[in-house]
Structure 1
């Protein structure tokens, strides 16, 4: 088992088993279904083959992971969680919910990304009270990565790969930005379909099924008080030292979705909804906003191409730029837009 905390304590005993580096992430991968060794290596970039083999051995010895052989025609050996290992699902889900507080947008330089890592966020955002009486499967294709979700009367199971068993109520094909926007309730399903950002396949009720899935899996930003998601990421970029003595309100309008920031002498309050008293308001669409946040597009380019505009006090635009770490050249363009 390796080093131990040598404490007669359930938390310490648990950490003796799953507290090592990479161990909990292996469990995260296996919560999405059986995985081959190569699947695990691909889903855990940066782990060495010796470390992966050693961690799997430790988990098998602890009764958390077992090996199985898939039936023909696959016939390959896979790793899967035992009943003891699967019991860690609520622990991983709660850790994911807690970790959303640290999930900034965009990813930090050097951070890797896999769509499977977001599936824990999907599970963490599940709203069982909305799913009572719902028994459906939804298949999702995000930039070529396929997974499916099975909802059964207030419970959710998320798995890699196409849906098995009953035919899915819908198949949603989209890109990552749109998938995140749908899940965060920043973008409605009809609008995504109308703008060509998503495609739905299935029977006559397929579009309604996507809407149900979005409601079951996505939390309103209002419910979080502006702590997470897009507005949480904007708030994370706030520079209090640049806002000393500033008492202003800045509005952000992304299509039909609005939120605002109130700055009071170096403190910040991020709020869902529009602000009637905004000193300056940035107008853009979700795709442009995500590009700006990811550094793919500069503010100068956004205003020059008409992808974004601003209205209000030019001086407030400069102060907003300073408060959120935007270059003054870009803010100057915004103020004059």
Structure 2
């Protein structure tokens, strides 16, 4: 009954997606196809936890993993929207195994509670997709006092991953998928500044959080490799996908103008969220090694089949990765002791493509 499933781009959209995963919409975006059929997925017997799974690419990843036989844990901030998403998936796939866990990634207390619920309910976690993301207003902070993009997009996922680490290490070949963005390429490399910037800027903060996602994914890979653990840390970016990431009602006039411009461009080139989810799904289930970065292969990497791509020089700055890791442990109190203790027994291997930052023209982090 749970056979590997291919999800073609020309398949009619289910009604539930209109409820649970609306976003940037245009006839051009909905017509746009990548020209290839999506790769078959077989996730029978696996448990997958996905943050931000009530809409956009997170919803599509949850939908397709559930169709492929996985037990899918929706980890979302808004209970009503999460329930709508779960209902939509069950309506489309009556045999789908769906669990719902409320989590606010801007609250370390909520993250701890959610991780405890997941750990108590599931003997293992095979796939963790750190997908949820925000672009807040300048000056917005999390409940713990951190800049909102850094706090939610990076630190919340850092804490959640660490709290679920034992469940991930309980199975062979677990996958930790961290969703970044091409926006990481324009980020300023200054990890100490990111949690509490002196001059808050909406897009600087977002791009910094996406660079933090990559520094985290790569440093986690180095720890996994040093510990000899059978687990993968893989980063990806969805290209330009039709999602809810951009707020439709920003407060500041300057922000409103920027959002309107991005929405206009997105209406022309954005791909459907189902296609944007393909790098996440390949990272979660495909034959790809730990430590790589996946993204669409066409139209300046905004759409198309997912392939391995090279991230920025700054994202491979191992010194910045260690600084960010230590800072994150200090800020959230999650220390990855079961992994770090094993990794410290041997030397840390080089990251993929890692060289001294000065030899690649990368900025030095503020240490």
User: For this structure pair, what is the TM-score category when the shorter chain's length is used for normalisation?
Assistant: under 0.3
Larger strand share, 1 or 2: 1
Q: Which has the higher contact order (CA 8 A, sep 6+)?
A: 2
Normalised to the residue count of structure 2, the TM-score between the two structures is 0.26
